[in-house]
Structure formats: structure tokens, C-alpha cells
Structure 1
Amino acid sequence: MRRFSADYLEETRRGMWAERGALDALELGSRERILDVGCGTG
């Protein structure tokens, strides 16, 4: 299993939220359910 440091995950998460436009094609606002598999630090 791969292990990621808390710093790595925090930086990756910051980058994901900076590029939210990439999610537009998913039309998340019109979805009934969304599964967030996440990658938390704890």
C-alpha cells in the first residue's frame, strides 16, 4: 500500500481546489448523489 505524508496530501488538495473548473463537465450541481472517496490526513 502506498503511504502519503500529511504535507503531500495537503499540497495536493490545495492544487485540486485551485483547478475546480476541471470539474465543470461533471455537472455536479445536477447530481442526486456524489461519492467523495477523499484522501484525508486523519
Structure 2
Amino acid sequence: MLVAPPDETRSARLDWPGGAVLRQDGATHPGTYIGPVSPGAEG
């Protein structure tokens, strides 16, 4: 996944071990949530 931190002009590429994320742009109550990304954090 590509992440663009606030106030940065370059994005960082991160591995995403969580599998597929469903597209839910039209959902009233989306069921997939991605929380904050922290340096050195493991999920």
C-alpha cells in the first residue's frame, strides 16, 4: 500500500499482510477500517 503522511509530498510503500480490502465507497456503514500506521508497529 502507498501511504502519504500529512504535510509530506512523497509517499511510502508499506507491506500489507492483511489481505484484500473491500471497496466500500458506496456503503452506508463500511465494515473495513484501517487505523493509524506507526513506525515499527506490528499488527
TM value normalised by structure 2: 0.21
Q: Comparing both structures, which one devotes a greater share of its residues to helix?
A: 1
Q: Comparing both structures, which one devotes a greater share of its residues to strand?
A: 2
Q: Which has the higher contact order (CA 8 A, sep 6+)?
A: 1
